[in-house]
Amino acid sequence: MNLSDAERKDLILTHLSREYPNHFLLTKAVALRARELKSGSAPLVDGFTDDQARNQSVLVALEEFYAEKLVIKNNQPEPVVVEIPNTKPSTDTEASVEADVETETPA
C-alpha cells in the first residue's frame, strides 16, 4: 500500500497531534526545521536525499518528528536534535585528564 505525500502527512499529523497537543508549537517547530532543510541541512531520517529534503522540506521535517529524531523540549518552538551521548572518551581527553590530575598539588 503506497501512500501519497498528502496522505502520509495526514497520518503523521494525526499521530503528532496526540503527542504534541499544542498545534501552534508543533507548527512552529516543523516550520523551523523545514527552513533548515531548505537551507541545506541534511535529513535525519533515511529515505531522503539532500535534494529531496530541500524540495519536500515539510514532509521530511514531519517524518523526523514522527521518527523521534527531533523533539520539542521545555515548550520551546525550536526543534532539538536528540543526541546519543558518546560513552567512550577519546584517548586525547583521557591523557589530558590524567595530566591534570598529576599536576595538581594538595593544599
Q: Where are the domains of the chain?
A: 5-103
* Cβ(31)–Cβ(47) below 8 Å: no
- Give the pLDDT of the chain (107 residues) as one tens digit per residue: 577 888 888 889 889 988 888 888 888 888 888 999 999 988 988 888 888 889 999 999 999 999 888 888 776 655 555 455 555 555 554 444 444 444 445 55
Cell readout for 66 is 514522527
Note if the pTM is more than 0.85.
Answer: no
For position 9, what pLDDT does the model report? Answer: 87
Task: List beta partners, residue 79.
Answer: 72
Task: List beta partners, residue 71.
Answer: 80
Contact residues for 67 (Cβ-Cβ < 8 A; gap 6+): 44, 45
Backbone angles phi, psi at 72, to 5 degrees: -110, 125
Backbone angles phi, psi at 81, to 5 degrees: -75, 130
Contact residues for 26 (Cβ-Cβ < 8 A; gap 6+): 16, 17, 20, 65, 72
For position 35, what pLDDT does the model report? Answer: 92
For position 73, what pLDDT does the model report? Answer: 76
